[in-house]
Amino acid sequence: MAGSPELAAHITGTNEFSPGDDVNLVIAVDNTGLNEYKIVQSGIIDRADQSNTAKQLTATLSAGDAPIVVKADPQVLGDLAASSTASGTYHIKVSQDAASGTYELPLVLNYTYMYQVEQTGTETLQYMYKSVNQTVTLPIRIKPVVQIEVTNISAQDLNAANEGYVTFTVKNTGYENGTNAAVRIAQNDASPITPSEGSMYVGNFPKGATADCRFRVAVSSDAQAKTYPLDVYVNYKNSEGDIVDSKTETIGVPVGSKVAYNATAIKTTIPAGAKSVIVVQYQNTGGATAYNAQARISAVDPFTSNDDTAFLGTMAPGDVKEASFEVSVDSGSYGEKLRPRFRSDLPRCTQ
């Protein structure tokens, strides 16, 4: 009998990947070796092994010059007979900044095979084996994609229980020239920041291009004064005419605390049946600026007032302003109290 294994390999499924992909790559190894001759003679003992079987086959995948990391040990595939296939699974990670193009992954196949048999007498066979170290290459393609980098992140009037603006710059750091592109934002899981405006049209977005973006967002009332996540991505048409999304970039957006105030009335004595002006001091004790702030008092019997509202204007955190109210007291009253109130537009978005 004469012959030897003939091994080839291929990737099952797709061999196209995008930068940042983290996948399991399944590789099939085929044995197409043939036994070309068989000696038929009286007295020859039948052999247990075949010369075209690859025995103790191991397959080792490496990255070569491809921008990937192979996270797998050599795969032991065992004995691979002729007309058979064995598969190994390899975990690979494509680099985030991988350049587009076609790359060759080396797959090293190690095995032994029976190349000769000697018969001694009528009962003994001596097998002789050779070791083979064979390298095959597997092509993969890294697709060009739009990748984004988000910088210059800032927030304007962004506080709990309020709407404000978040601004940032998006840069295409990938190798794809996107068209009909739109920058989009989305809520990140249970983040208290939700988009009021979720999309901004950019148009052509070639490699290296930047876009300055400004979005209006809302913050829930239970948010604290800290930084919260917000997702950013680009929707675009690629070079194959497909509408796709870039990988999401998560950014941190700073959020301030709610508007809070403290009111301190300056003690005033008003004789029964008289009219007087009372003064109340208001301090913004929160972490946000109050716009168009108004101070009010609730005048109930025996008090009356034709002047129960005072305009305070803009009050930054820590600001103190005074409000004056003219109040009349019924002639039969004694030891009554007024209750001051405070109203403002919560920090608002300004163009």
* DSSP assignment of 40-94: --TTPPPPSS-TT-EEEEEEEE--TTSSEEE--PPEEEEEE-TTEEEEEEEEEEE
CATH of the domain at 32: 2.60.40.10
Give domain status of residue 325, yes or no.
yes
Domain-ending residue, one of 229, 254, 279: 254
Give domain status of residue 78, yes or no.
yes
Range 298-317 average pLDDT: 83
Same domain as 138, residue 7? yes
More confident call, 64 vs 337: 64
Give domain status of residue 350, yes or no.
no
Q: What's the pLDDT at 347?
A: 43
| CA torsion through residues 95, 96, 97, 101, sign | positive
Q: How many domains does the chain have?
A: 3
Q: What's the pLDDT at 348?
A: 43
Domain-ending residue, one of 92, 109, 142: 142
Q: What's the pLDDT at 106?
A: 97
Q: How many angstroms separate the CA atoms of 92 and 101, rounded?
A: 17
Q: What's the pLDDT at 19?
A: 93
**Other Cβ atoms within 10 Å of 66 Cβ, number:** 23
Same domain as 239, residue 188? yes
pLDDT tens readout for residues 47-94: 667 888 999 999 999 999 999 999 999 999 999 999 999 999 999 999
Instruction: Give φ, ψ of 208 to 5 degrees.
Output: 85, -10
Kindly report whether the global pTM for this prediction surpasses the value 0.85.
no
Q: How many angstroms separate the CA atoms of 14 and 11, rounded?
A: 7
Range of the domain at 340: 261-345
Whether the upstream peptide bond of residue 302 has omega within 30° of 0, thus cis, is yes
What tokens were used for 215?
Answer: 């979005």
Task: Give rounded-to-5 percent helix, strand, coil for the chain.
Answer: 0, 60, 40
Strands 16-17 and 124-142: what pairing? Answer: parallel
1-5, 148-152, 181-185, 344-348: the lowest-pLDDT one: 344-348
Same domain as 132, residue 19? yes
